Chains A and B, each alone.
Chain A
Amino acid sequence: MIFWNAELARRLACSKREKSHLGSIIKELLEIHDTVRTEGIKSLTDSASIKEKPILSYGLRLIEEGVSGETLEEILAIYLIASPWSGFDFLLQCLHTEALLSLAAGDSKDMYLRKLVPYCGVESAADVLGALEL
């Protein structure tokens, strides 16, 4: 079951054009999955491109601190809700958080992709999945 509330929906709202960028962002996130799978999480924490992505950067450090599962999800949800992000920026951070939780859970690449694609919206999820299918 997916919970829903109007405040959250308002905060996540963004244009179709903005959402169209998500496909390429998911592609980048798949590369991160590959790096974690081959070199481990520690190889990412010092990477400059990760440091530009706040929730990913801090989230990876939390995983290295031994935080996992429900507790990790709860902490990241608090950061997101208490943050000033809204619109596409907020959606992007939610997508990064979903990726992080999937990495922390040790999900396969296929499962990881299937958890990220729904953020593209019902209309384009199937197309993005088709384009990125492993």
Chain B
Amino acid sequence: MIINSLCLAQDRLPSPSEPSGQNFPALKPRTIQACLELAKKFVTTIQRYRSEGKEALLAATREEKKKNLKYAYSLVASGMPQENVASAFARAGFLEAESSKDEFDSAMLLTGVQLALKNVHPIAIMRAMTAYLGFAVYEEVGSWLAQRYSSPIRQEEELLLPGELADAVYAFTDDPGSLGQAIRLAGLPLLAAASAGCPDETLSIIKSVGFNSLGSALLDDEIQNARSRLSSDELSDAQHAFLTLLGSLKELVPKGIVEEEAWKRSMDGGLVSEVSELILNLDARILKTVISAMDAKLVAALIQAMEPIAHDRLFSSVTSNRGKKILDALEASAPLSSNELTRQAQIFAQRVLAEVAPRSKILGKALPIPAQVRQLLSAILSRE
């Protein structure tokens, strides 16, 4: 409830000038500009800290002459828990300032340090610090932020992860209300992680529904952050989570997409990994012989239990005509259950064994295949 936040915010501000508590000391335009410059300086340093690392912050701390700003930088550099910042400011004497200007400076810096320690984006930190100066500076702050952030941050190539999120987002283009609702429910960290593996076109739809130019810049920044911090699997999980959220909001997401995602989640990860490893590690001649002799429908079923990287090797082992037949069979096939996939994988493993086994059996002699392939065959065949 906002009332609680009001109580907390009130503790940071200079005392009201009237007993009614209605008016805080009015700041002169020159003082407002000075406070604004302080916020700009702090936020610029925090941005450098985010992009260049702690050394940039430590250098700013060393060079800063203004005591309260120097102290604020040192608190951010210390990485202390943000709930201890207020008492640290009080202990250092910055909350007992001589003028209202100093009191506002301290309140702004206290807020800025707390948010920086929570790793809040500098755009939001700037908005929070300058909120003490009222709506009168809102546009000026917006222009300053736009100059610094609205130019496209995203210059790297798009990262495309397989999944249905792009199609689902496209299906929401005529329903900005629901897409916007999903964006807000997801929150920025999940949205950024989910968008990190999407085509630029999908990202444009998301931005057009939920963000203005500054928000778009902030989202780009968070996406870059997610790409550098999270693995492909984590980004893929975020896509699934956002897709599920979209699906829960409206039936607009094609039913097939939702079912396919549910099927993917129910897959036996161990089996998929074993089959993929087997395909990747099999001798090229054996793989070609076995796949060529198998029915296209059986190969299509096997592909369902494989990671994309194994698809490439499998298709590279067959002729283009044969590859086309397998693709047609794949398109016509329905998702198989975990048990059915295990059965198909075992049939494939048996065919591989039959191919590598010597024509004349010599008892007690190991099969002429690498140990890893032997282990994978054994793991697949021993599944129940």
Which residues of A line the B interface, CB within 8 A?
Answer: 1-5, 7-8, 10-11, 36-43, 45, 54, 58, 61-69, 71, 73-84, 86, 94, 97-98, 101, 103-106, 115
**Is B300 in contact with chain A by the CB < 8 A criterion?**
no
Residue on A with the closest CB to B15?
Answer: A7
A36 to B210, CA, bound (A): 11
Cβ contacts A to B, 10 pairs, < 8 Å: A5-B10, A8-B6, A37-B181, A65-B214, A66-B123, A66-B211, A69-B187, A71-B115, A76-B5, A105-B185
B218 touches A11 (CB 8 A): no
Residues of A within 8 Å of B266, CB to CB, are none
Q: Contacting B2 at CB < 8 Å: which of A11, A42, A101, A103?
A: A101
Q: Name 10 extra pairs, CB < 8 A, besides A7-B21, A8-B3.
A: A3-B3, A10-B22, A42-B208, A64-B215, A65-B218, A71-B118, A79-B134, A82-B132, A83-B134, A94-B6
Whether B16 and A82, one on each chain, are in contact in the complex, defined by CB atoms closer than 8 angstroms, is no
CB neighbours (8 Å) of A77 from chain B are 2, 5-6, 8-9
> Is there a chain A Cβ closer than 8 Å to B212's Cβ?
yes
Are B21 and A11 touching (Cβ within 8 A)?
A: yes
Partner of A74, one of B111, B179, B211: B111
CA distance A47 to B22 in the complex (A): 30
User: Are A10 and B184 in contact (CB-based, < 8 A)?
Assistant: no
- Distance (Å) between the CB of B162 and the closest chain A CB? 27
| Interface of A, helix, strand, loop or mixed by DSSP | helix
Cβ contact within 8 Å between B187 and A41: no
Of the listed residues A8, A79, A82, the one surrounded by the most CB atoms of chain B closer than 10 A to its CB is A82
Write out, one digit per residue, whether chain B residues 181-214 have a CB within 8 A of any chain A CB (1) or not (0): 1101101100000000000000000001111101
A75/B128 contact (C-beta < 8 A), A5-B7, A69-B187 known: yes
Closest residue on chain B to residue A54 by CB atoms: B135
Q: Is B124 an interface residue (CB 8 A)?
A: yes
Interchain nearest-CB distance for B108 vs A (Å) = 9
A65 with B135: CB separation less than 8 A = no
Q: How far does the Cβ of A31 sit from chain B's closest Cβ, in whole Å?
A: 14
Q: Do A40 and B209 touch (CB < 8 A)?
A: yes
Measured in the bound complex, the distance between the Cα atoms of B184 and A57 in whole Å is 17
Q: Which residue of A lies closest to B129 (CB)?
A: A78
Residue interface mask B11-44, A partner, CB < 8 A = 1: 0010010001111100000000000000000000
Task: Give complex CA distance A10, B218 in Å.
Answer: 39
With A7-B10, A105-B184: A75-B127 Cβ-Cβ less than 8 Å: yes
Kindly list the 4 A-B residue pairs having the minimum CB-CB distance in the complex, ordered from nearest. Answer: A40-B176, A77-B5, A78-B131, A106-B185
Query: Which residue of the partner chain, among B6, B131, B210, contacts A40 with CB atoms under 8 Å?
Result: B210
A104: chain B residues at CB < 8 Å are 184
CB distance from B132 to the nearest CB of A (A): 5
Which residues does chain B contribute within 8 Å of A76, judged by CB atoms?
A: 2, 5, 131
Docked complex Cα distance between A64 and B183 (Å): 11
Contacts of B210 in A (CB 8 A): 40-42, 64
Q: List chain A residues, Cβ under 8 A from B185.
A: 105-106
Closest to B127 in A: A75
Please indicate the chain A residues that have their CB under 8 angstroms from the CB of B227 in the complex.
none
The CA of A69 and the CA of B128, in the complex, are separated in Å by 13
Interface residues of B in 105-154 (CB under 8 A from A): 111, 115, 118, 120-121, 123-124, 127-128, 131-135, 138, 142
Residues in chain A near residue B371, CB distance under 8 A:
none
State A43–B175 Cα separation when bound (angstroms).
12
Select which of A7, A67, A78 is within 8 A of B132 by beta carbon: A78
**Does B4 contact A3, Cβ atoms closer than 8 Å?**
yes
Is B177 in the interface zone, CB < 8 Å from A?
Answer: yes
Cβ of B124 to closest chain A Cβ, rounded Å: 5
The answer on a CB contact under 8 Å between A40 and B180 is yes
- Collect the chain B residues with CB atoms within 8 Å of residue A61's CB: 142, 212
What separation, in Å, do the CA atoms of A86 and B6 have in the docked complex? 13
B1 on the interface (CB 8 Å rule)?
yes
Q: Are B2 and A7 in contact (CB under 8 A)?
A: no
